[in-house]
Structure 1
Amino acid sequence: MRVLITAATFRSHLYPLVPLAWALRAAGHDVRIAVQPSLVGDVTAAGLPAVEVGRGPDFMSELKKSIDSDGGTPPGTAPSIDKIVVPHIRIAEAVVADLVPFAKNWKPDLVVADPAAFAAPAIAKAAGVPLVLHTWGPMPDQLWADLTSERTARENWPKDLVAFLDTWNVELGPDYADLVVDPCPEELLAIRMAKRQEARYVPYNGAGVTPDWLDEPKRRPRVCITWGTTSEFMGPEVLRPPLLAIEALAGLDVEIVAALGKAGRELLGDAGEQVRVVDWMPLSMLMPTCDALISQGGPGTVLAALVNGVPQLVVPQISAQPLGAELLTNSGAGLTLRPDELTAESVVATVTELLDGDSVRPAARELAERNAARPDPTQLVATLADLAAGR
């Protein structure tokens, strides 16, 4: 079986696809990962064959054009879904131009993609093969909840996106995909997409070298503070909450691992002996050693902690993070502080509850056990082969 995999131009959308690609390759299937040039190195670093497509449009540049088109967006706030979709369409147009000829020559039996790769349904339609969507975690209800019917999608999806999909005769509604592989726990589901196949979440956060200190016995509880990659396009002002949290935790007997990227390292400077400052480290390496996590609630971050039963404090800021934070809190496996609730006192009280309380930690462990009981990527290979064969 030949499987063509593609993802939107974000590591956070590519990484969830990697374990399934490994499983397909290990089972003897031929796999290609089609991505824009900026992600080619991430594909090859994962030991997978890459196809470079969509040369030209850069998501961040296109997003800036979209945001600035009517006066811009206030600093520190997320752009609207309509503005975010515009650069995705520009990229999808470029990807289709490269990938349709490739697909017609290579003749895949199946297309697998993250839902934000809007070129994928067009490629599957052009190649005449099934489309499998692989979600990246707690899915936002924007767009995807509208796939309950063709009429609903056409009424609510951005008109430019509908026009692009119409060009390729992509069906909107429940038949948009032939299967949806979903590693999101039931408790964190904002929507339940049609034809859903639940799966185990297997964290992959890129390649890395394990530092010596990570394998040494801990002397104090370890609290990780990470803020994803939003500072790359929203500016360092979004790092104010984690910097406040680091300062607040100075009075607790904990070790702090601050994984805030280069911008965070520059802002922290000499943070003192209590704080380990790292530019970046795969959470799949770090989380098994942690006792608590503080983040803004990106899906990959939340699930990496969940897999390891790590209690979480989420300070949601953008996109669907507030919804994800609400669902996580309702599950009992984490707690939430809104940005306007964030003070030194609230951080200390919340982290103390995560470390010493008797409610959050058991709930986090239970979600980890439920995830481990789900089908892993190797167990999904036969399902995908049957789908490709028309069974």
Structure 2
Amino acid sequence: MRILFLAGGSPATVYALIPLATAARNAGHETFMASTEAMMPVVAGFGLPAVPVTSAGMLEYLAKDRTGAPLEWPTDPVEHMTFIGRGFGRLAAASQPRLLELAEAWRPDVVVGGMLSFGAALLARRLGVPWVRHAWDSGEPPESDRGAWEELAGELAALGLDEPLVPDLFVEICPPSLRPPGAGPAQQMRYVPCAPQRRLEPWMYTKGEHRRVMVTAGARVNREQYLDFLRDLTGKVAKLDVEIVIATPDDVAADAAAGLDRVHAGWMPLDVIGPTCDLFVHHAGGGSSLMGMALGVPQLLMPNMAASVGPSERLTAYGAALMLTPGEDDGVEEVVSACRTLLDDPSYTERAGELAAEIRAQPLPTEVLGTVVDLAASRS
């Protein structure tokens, strides 16, 4: 069977799909993963055939409309989420020519698209094969869907449709306890931490004499974006008597750790280091949050995107995290106080452990693969 996976335009959108895609490839199915040109090394690094669908990066589709006119990012949170959806809609439209060209030579039996990979829905409809929608994290806001389908109204009309497409199957990796209110039916799947690995050193899998705190701002940190946020956040955490692990791309690791003691910085295999940590402190990215959940580590969340607020609120309400919204996290004392609460109150570790157990109880990717294969077979 031929299974085509379609990721978004960032590393996190690739990582989320790797467990199921690898299961498919290991089971003997022909498996391709498509994404933007910039993501080709990321996909190929996991041993999967990588297919580029557009030479432009994700940010270009957010920065400009289809005519090339520049766009301004909305400041209103709801409008911001709709705006993001429209950008993913433009990415979906731009990817169709290359996806159709691929399908002429290599016709998939089923198309698995990431949460905002709307090009998967359009391609599957054109080919008459099932569309499987695959969650990337703890849930995208409905405003993003609405914005994407509004942007794709012309593409829908060309297919004879005036309503959004509905997936034949939704694969959910968010634990059931944290799904958004009103969430629809889903095929639950165990979240399996996945990211590029590196040569291990003993400190990575052993605890030291101090408590260990992991600090990150995600995989897209560079000198133009998020580095100042990461340095500022790490400096605040350094006021505690702890060892700090800064998970960040290697090319900015020295800048992120400058002037600090008891610090390890660089690209980290968090699935290895995570179990040795007592606390995760981060930007509330979907992948980072799920990693902490799966490893049973309490978290301090500081959402830097409107879409991250809802999932962060649910994780906080569950009792496995605390959240500081923009404006609340400006001062050193606020961050230090929240970290101390999470480190010293055992209830947060207990609840985080319960959430990790719930995640481990979900069906494995190998089991969910059987459902996907059966769905495709039923339509052949």
Q: Same fold (TM over 0.5)?
A: yes
- Look up the match of 1:305: 292
Where does 1:130-169 land on structure 2 (aligned, <5 Å)?
A: 130-143=130-143, 159-169=150-160
> Shift of the alpha carbon at 1:171?
7.4
Gaps of at least 5 residues in structure 2 are none
- Look up the match of 1:44: 44
Alignment pair present for 1:225 and 2:212: no
Alignment pair present for 1:201 and 2:191: yes
Q: What SS class does the counterpart of residue 306 from structure 2 fall into?
A: coil
Q: What SS class does the counterpart of residue 364 from structure 1 fall into?
A: helix
Q: What SS class does the counterpart of residue 94 from structure 1 fall into?
A: helix
> Shift of the alpha carbon at 1:69?
5.3
TM-score (norm 2): 0.89
Where does 1:8-19 land on structure 2 (aligned, <5 Å)?
A: 8-19=8-19
Contact 1:283 1:301 in 2 (8 A): no
CA 1:69 to 1:190, structure 2 compared with 1: closer, same or farther past 3 Å? Answer: farther
CA 1:169 to 1:291, structure 2 compared with 1: closer, same or farther past 3 Å? Answer: farther
- Look up the match of 2:276: 289
TM-score (norm 1): 0.87
Which of the numbers 322, 346, 366 marks the counterpart of 2:354? 366
Code of the residue aligned with 1:328 in structure 2: it is: L
Q: Distance in 2 between matches of 1:131 and 1:178?
A: 6
Q: Distance in 2 between matches of 1:300 and 1:135?
A: 11
Contact 1:293 1:313 in 2 (8 A): yes
- Look up the match of 2:62: 63
> Shift of the alpha carbon at 1:329?
0.4
Give the RMSD, CA atoms, in angstroms.
Answer: 2.8
Which of the numbers 315, 318, 323 marks the counterpart of 1:336? 323
Deviations 1:160-180 (A, max 9, x none): 22223333346745x610000
Q: Distance in 2 between matches of 1:4 and 1:290?
A: 36
CA 1:41 to 1:331, structure 2 compared with 1: closer, same or farther past 3 Å? Answer: same
Q: What SS class does the counterpart of residue 210 from structure 1 fall into?
A: coil
> Shift of the alpha carbon at 1:36?
1.9
> Shift of the alpha carbon at 1:211?
3.3
Deviations 1:41-73 (A, max 9, x none): 11111011122222x33322332335x957734
> Shift of the alpha carbon at 1:191?
5.1
Number of aligned pairs? 376
- Look up the match of 2:179: 189
Contact 1:121 1:170 in 2 (8 A): no
CA 1:303 to 1:170, structure 2 compared with 1: closer, same or farther past 3 Å? Answer: farther
Q: Distance in 2 between matches of 1:363 and 1:83?
A: 35
CA 1:269 to 1:291, structure 2 compared with 1: closer, same or farther past 3 Å? Answer: closer
> Shift of the alpha carbon at 1:135?
0.3
Contact 2:130 2:376 in 1 (8 A): yes
Contact 1:178 1:195 in 2 (8 A): no
Q: Distance in 2 between matches of 1:241 and 1:61?
A: 23
- Look up the match of 1:92: 92
Contact 1:295 1:315 in 2 (8 A): yes
Where does 1:344-363 land on structure 2 (aligned, <5 Å)?
A: 344-363=332-351
- Look up the match of 2:201: 211
Code of the residue aligned with 1:62 in structure 2: it is: Y
Code of the residue aligned with 1:134 in structure 2: it is: H
Q: Distance in 2 between matches of 1:268 and 1:26?
A: 38
- Look up the match of 1:20: 20
> Shift of the alpha carbon at 1:78?
10
- Look up the match of 1:129: 129
